[in-house]
Amino acid sequence: MTGTILLGLGAFLASAVEAVEALTIVLGVGVVRGWRSTLIGVGAALLVLALTIAVLGPALGRIPIDGLRLVVGALLLVFGLQWLRKAILRASGYKALHDEDEAFREERERAALAGAEERGGLDWYSFTVAFKGVLLEGLEVVFIVIAFGAAQGRFDVAIAGAALAVVLVAVVGVLVRKPLERVPENTIKFTVGVMLTSFGCFWAAEGAGVAWPEDELSLLGVVAFVLALSYGLVRLLRRQRVAALTAGAGA
Amino acid sequence: MSRLRAFGRFWWNFVVGDDWLVAAVVGAGLGLTGLLTAVGVDAWWLLPLVVALALATSLVRATRGTTQQS
């Protein structure tokens, strides 16, 4: 039960971050260059994503579960550590906070500066940017769903979590028609990093033959450990940065 | 050829990311976990320690000699 809730929550949060990024690109291009070609680009990307899922999905059922857990767990672990590393650097002031509002402004300026090129009645810039943005972020969502769903054998929960996130972000996007700058992105990324790293650690170890004490309950312990470790590293780096700045000012 | 390189670069960035050391330490940790398990040691404690080591090492590398990255 605990594992299922964490699985749904992990898939939801990770997918929400990707969806916000895709939405920022689509809105930036759509607002400046018009919606027709942009939305056709979004539709084409969603079609390619659906085909990818249709091809990859059934093949996964034939792979032995331990091997799958090892590969998926290792990938999730590396993936999660990347997120966590960036989120810790941002939270401690070593890296600038990612600003969706700024990203939206940049995308809008790029779209305004791009020349007008029509192919097949489509504004090619709007189509390709929306297509690439949705396809890349969508592929990350597909990867998250496959990883979470396959390793635990609960595709239904992973798909539900991801679908809820994508729908929610899309609805909010349509309602506000501007980027979701109020979403505390680094907090979400920090949480997602903790979840991905914890799940990755748990599954990869299982795939390597480990038997966790108390089975699934250990997952809670791993989450607590990764959370405490990350929080401790943020505090340590903040202190280190302040000390370096003070020493620099005194010199 | 350049498309092939771009494809390879996309997957490298997607999987390995900014610091290859993280992936290398995780790979080594998983190998060691597998070895210990094969000789009868239930090394469930090893991978969390590897996570701590990989994250701390990578952050030290990223912050060495700097106060603000970007």
Shortest Cα–Cα distance, B3 to chain A (Å):
15
Q: What is the pLDDT of residues A36-71, one digit of tens each?
A: 888 898 999 889 888 877 787 666 656 666 777 788
Least confident of A37-41, A151-155, A159-163, B41-45: A151-155
Q: What is the pLDDT of residues B27-61, one digit of tens each?
A: 999 999 999 999 999 999 999 999 999 999 999 99
B26–A209 CB contact, under 8 Å: no
| Domain-embedded: residue B5 | no
B25 touches chain A (CB under 8 A): no
Categorize the per-residue pLDDT at B65 as very low, low, confident or very high, splitting at 50, 70 and 90.
low
Residues of A in contact with B62 (CB under 8 A): 85, 89, 94
Cα separation, A182 vs A166, in Å, equals 17
Range of the domain at B33: 17-63
| C-alpha distance from residue A24 to each of A59, A131, A215 (Å) | 33, 13, 40
Residues of A in contact with B52 (CB under 8 A): 229
| Domain-embedded: residue B1 | no
One-letter amino acid of A246: T
Give me A81's structure tokens.
């550590």
What is the number of domains present in chain B? 1
Categorize the per-residue pLDDT at A245 as very low, low, confident or very high, splitting at 50, 70 and 90.
confident
Nearest to A240 by CA among B30, B65, B31: B65
Residues 6+ apart with CB under 8 A from A234: A88, A91, A92
| Domain-embedded: residue B30 | yes
Residues of A in contact with B67 (CB under 8 A): 93-94, 241, 244-245, 248
| Domain-embedded: residue B3 | no
Residue A179 has pLDDT above 60, yes or no: no
Shortest Cα–Cα distance, A148 to chain B (Å):
16
The dihedral built from the CA positions of residue A47, A129, A181 and A137, taken in this order, carries a sign that is positive
How many beta carbons lie within 10 A of that of residue A135, not counting itself?
20
Residues of A in contact with B11 (CB under 8 A): none
How many beta carbons lie within 10 A of that of residue A98, not counting itself?
14
Nearest to A15 by CA among A156, A100, A139: A139
Categorize the per-residue pLDDT at B11 as very low, low, confident or very high, splitting at 50, 70 and 90.
confident
Shortest Cα–Cα distance, B64 to chain A (Å):
10
- Closest in A94, A210, A218 to B68, CB measured: A94
